[in-house]
Amino acid sequence: MAYNSILVHLDGNKQAMQRLHVAGRIAAASQCALIGLLAGRVPDPTWFYRMDNAQRCLAEDQERRRLQRENMRCAFEAATADLPLACEWRTADRDPVMLALREAREAGLIVSGQYDADNAEGPVARQLLEALLLETGRPTLVVPCAGEFASVGTRVLVAWNGSREAARALHDALPLLAGARVRVLSAHAAAREPRPDATPVSHAVRVLERQGATVEVEHGPGGADLAIGELILSRAADFGADLIVMGAYGHGRLRELVLAGVTRVVLQSMTVPVLFSH
């Protein structure tokens, strides 16, 4: 089992190259196409016309973004030159969220970056990450903004609550889990007590064992979203996990979607890559 393509979101942040390396390793293991997508802040031109020397300011910004695109394209081509894969470069030159969604729905797996308060792309970085998680219908591997990740998927924590999102995340992660050591953490947030149709953790174990994983199960206490998010992060650290797999939850519709509590807690404090599915 393997992904048929990997799309890595790139932008003007310094950690973009780290997630490109992670995406390249996964694409090489899957022997699939690797797509680099540059999507970041695109200022509204109408703002420039409220400034002195508007034409000059607009021209300078356009040149700055042209140089950024060219520099990132060269960095992408240099980083992927030795990969025995089909590698493709794409850019989103206008509405970054809308165009990124359009491109990302093609991918077998999206690789993106954790939102950082010092993000050079401003508010669009958070909007784009949330859109990739909740609106693409594709699994998204989020790489932390700090650290280096030589391996992804050798020791894995799977957060399990028997829901549709948890089941989707588990199956979406299977190409990364062959032969892995996996700890399944079975825990439920107080706001989402198990439904009658919740899938037992034993089913998740069987899926993983068929993939050749060595599996252990831990039953965690229920609690509020904050407590469950912190429990996931704590157990992942105790286990020495290099990957967390979990469902992504949101509230609202389309562009009004916002990340729900557990998802947001993990995104804010993650120290290893997390594969989310919604």
Residue 199 lies in a domain: yes
What are the pLDDT digits (tens) for 195-229?
678 899 999 999 999 999 999 999 988 777 778 89
Distance separating alpha carbons of residues 148 and 144, to the nearest angstrom: 9
- Structurally, the chain folds into a number of domains equal to 2
Per-residue buried b or exposed e for 106-123, using 16+ beta carbons within 10 Å of the residue's own CB: ebbbbbbbbbbeebebee
Residues 136 and 161 in one domain: no
Q: pTM for the whole thing?
A: 0.89
One domain, residues 115 and 168:
no
The pLDDT of 257-263, averaged and rounded, is: 64
Q: What is the pLDDT of residues 88-115, one digit of tens each?
A: 999 987 788 898 999 999 999 999 999 8
Domain check: are 116 and 165 in the same one?
A: no
Q: Same domain for 125 and 247?
A: no
Q: Same structural domain for residues 163 and 247?
A: yes
Would residue 195 be called left, alpha or beta, if left means φ above 0 and alpha means ψ between -120 and 50 degrees? beta
Contacting residues for 54 by C-beta, under 8 A, at least 6 apart: 48
> Are both 136 and 160 inside the same structural domain?
no
Cα 36 from Cα 32, distance rounded (Å): 13
Q: Is residue 148 part of a domain?
A: no
